[in-house]
Amino acid sequence: MDNLWLYVIIGLIILVLGAGLVYGLMRGGGRAETPIDEREAPRQAPPGLPAEDMDRSPGQATGAAPAPEQPGQPSEGPTEIGVEEIIPAPAVERPESARGRLQRLRARLARSNSAIGKGLLALLSRGKLDEEAWEEVEDTLIASDLGVEAATQLVDSLRTQVKVEGATDEATVRDWLRKDLLELVQPDMDRRIASSRVGIRPAVILVVGVNGTGKTTTVGKLARVLVAEDRDVLLGAADTFRAAAADQLETWGGRVGVPTVRSDKEGADPAAVAFDAVKAGIEQEVDVVIIDTAGRLHNKVGLMDELGKIKRVIEKQSDIDEVLLVLDATTGQNGLQQAKVFAEAVDITGIVLTKLDGTAKGGIVVSVQNQLGVPVKLVGLGEGPDDLAPFDPEAFVDAIVS
């Protein structure tokens, strides 16, 4: 009997152990636990990547939250490290050659000079010319901004030819007028723009003028003229007082692949910017550096002194080969007063006349050259990017008397 109970107890123990084993196998899915020494070791961070970034997506910066997916857009997955988006460079324009540009714009020029052209021819060709008629001719010339001295000189020459030849038909008078006007415009003046390297340095052009003459635009258009002549150009944005000036200049240069040296700080020392631009031009071995300066009132002594400072600072490392004064041709005699003051502050080598296609009178070309003794080198005849033309005396006179 005792043996029977012993067998019953042993059987119950075996039954309990068997049930436990079955339960354990069911919970563990039949898998045995891996010994601790065979488990995977903790992952090590690669060199240069903080440990806390190991579980981040590749390319995600330290401390940055995962970038949210845009609604309605599928996830593109992680981005590879070091792969950057390639943004196509803007297309660089190739300006047309500036040669012969003034001839193509003769129609615009002729329209703006009807007083000195057609009106004058009508006066001279109407028959008998008495003193009253000659006074009217002289008044017409003065009204065209030719200036009193030049108008008197032209009238005296015409009166002599009429007296000697005795002919006053329009064709003959046109020939006389063309010859005398061309002489007044002085075609023998050197109108070349300094644009070639001088020894080991680039040519340096300083552009000055009063507010509102279109100075920065003129610098941009001049860069196009020089690029069309296969010159390597660099621009200097020394107009640091007008917030948009440097941006405007940079845009002009970018269109034709010309770099711009500028300051990111508004109100920076313009002389320092000009200095840096010339220095960069020397280092980059460009052909020409063009410096844009702030517009200034000609009657403000402090501003004119600052212009002199810019010139002196540039000359610490390079000569200035060209100082171009930009004048608004529509201002007439007032523009001449501005020109005189600028000529006292810096040595003007050439004049740029803008807006010559508007209400301007062509005689301003003659008067400004007579007053300053320097040539008109460029004229602006429109708003287009290629409407700045090298001044051609013969094309100019032909446009007047056509």
Domain ranges of the chain: 106-185, 203-401
pLDDT exceeds 50 at position 76:
no
CA nearest to 307, candidates 195, 212, 207: 207
CA nearest to 256, candidates 284, 216, 207, 221: 221
pLDDT exceeds 70 at position 144:
yes
Residue 380's pLDDT is what?
87
Residue 113's pLDDT is what?
57
**355 marked among binding-site residues:** yes
**139 marked among binding-site residues:** no
Tens digits of residue pLDDT in 177-210: 889 989 999 999 999 999 999 999 999 999 998 8
pLDDT exceeds 50 at position 62:
no
Superfamily of domain 203-401: P-loop containing nucleotide triphosphate hydrolases (3.40.50.300)
Three-state DSSP string of the chain: CHHHHHHHHHHHHHHHHHHHHHHHHHHCCCCCCCCHHHCCCCCCCCCCCCHHHCCCCCCCCCCCCCCCCCCCCCCCCCCCCCCCCCCCCCCCCCCCCCCCHHHHCHHHHHHCCCCCCHHHHHHHCCCCCCHHHHHHHHHHHHHCCCCHHHHHHHHHHHHHHHHHHCCCCHHHHHHHHHHHHHHHHCCCCCCCCCCCCECCECEEEEEEECCCCCHHHHHHHHHHHHHHCCCCEEEEEECCCCHHHHHHHHHHHHHCCCCEECCCCCCCCHHHHHHHHHHHHHHHCCCEEEEEECCCCCCCHHHHHHHHHHHHHHCCCCCCCEEEEEEEHHHCHHHHHHHHHHHHHCCCCEEEEECCCCCCCCHHHHHHHHHHCCCEEEEECCCCCCCEEECCHHHHHHHHHC
**156 marked among binding-site residues:** no
**209 marked among binding-site residues:** yes
**382 marked among binding-site residues:** no
- CATH T-level topology, domain 106-185: Four Helix Bundle (Hemerythrin (Met), subunit A) (1.20.120)
**106 marked among binding-site residues:** no
Tens digits of residue pLDDT in 312-362: 999 999 999 999 999 988 877 777 887 888 888 888 999 999 888 766 567
Tens digits of residue pLDDT in 375-385: 999 998 878 88
**79 marked among binding-site residues:** no
**221 marked among binding-site residues:** no
**212 marked among binding-site residues:** yes
**294 marked among binding-site residues:** yes
**18 marked among binding-site residues:** no
CA nearest to 341, candidates 391, 292, 303, 370: 303
**293 marked among binding-site residues:** yes
Residue with tokens 């590749």: 58
**255 marked among binding-site residues:** no
What is the amino acid identity at position 189?
M
**269 marked among binding-site residues:** no
Q: How confident is the model at residue 1 (pLDDT cuts 50, 70, 90)?
A: low
Rg of the chain in Å (alpha carbons): 40
**350 marked among binding-site residues:** no
**265 marked among binding-site residues:** no
**330 marked among binding-site residues:** no
